[in-house]
Amino acid sequence: MRNYIKHTIMLKILTGLLLVTCFFSCTHESQTPGCEAQACTEVFVTFGIHYTDNAGNPIAIKNFSAVNQRTHLAMTQPNPQNSMLVLGYYVVANDSMKEQLSTDGDDIMVSATNPTTNQTKTVIVKLAGGCNCHVTKKSGPEAVAFD
């Protein structure tokens, strides 16, 4: 019985130490290699573009592409998802893609085609990522209207 009490007390002490270690080892600092540590929020940021027809109604487009002009690579999500979360809204970049962007910002060529008229619209948006906590838009439109 005495050994049982010693083992129980020892187990509680070790569990307590483990919890304290876990608590103090958890931080909300940026963990991007090569970047300075910084306190970041846990908000997940997404940047996209809304597409509308000539009457201002949201539309599903075809041939959507977003290409980083610095790297000449398509912006790709590590965990692909439906790119159209809301009719007419297409994701260009989100926080899971920030390593594909420079800290100061890159020009992203975004192109899409209206399936009804076959008109293609191309815009440039400047997005930053890299060592920043979140993807941020520096410039460019948030909506594109087809003629």
Does 119 map to a domain? yes
Q: Which amino acid is at 49?
A: I
pLDDT for the residue numbered 135: 96
Structural domain including 64 reads: 46-145
pLDDT of residue 4 exceeding 80: no
Q: Tell me the pLDDT of the chain averaged across its residues.
A: 83
Does 7 map to a domain? no
pLDDT for 97-147, tens place per residue? 999 999 999 999 999 999 999 999 999 999 999 999 999 999 999 999 999
Does 120 map to a domain? yes
How many structural domains compose the chain?
Answer: 1
pLDDT for the residue numbered 20: 44
Q: Is 30 helix (H, G, I), strand (E, B) or coil?
A: coil
Percentage of residues in the chain having pLDDT higher than 70: 72
Of 65 and 81, more confident: 65
Does 24 map to a domain? no
Does 34 map to a domain? no
pLDDT of residue 13 exceeding 80: no
Does 52 map to a domain? yes
Q: pLDDT tier at 12 (50, 70, 90 boundaries)?
A: low
pLDDT for the residue numbered 33: 67
pLDDT for the residue numbered 68: 97
Does 82 map to a domain? yes
pLDDT of residue 86 exceeding 80: yes
Q: pLDDT tier at 56 (50, 70, 90 boundaries)?
A: very high
Contacts of 25 (CB under 8 A, 6+ apart): none
Does 20 map to a domain? no
Contacts of 41 (CB under 8 A, 6+ apart): 28, 133, 134
What number of other Cβ atoms are within 10 A of residue 79's Cβ?
5
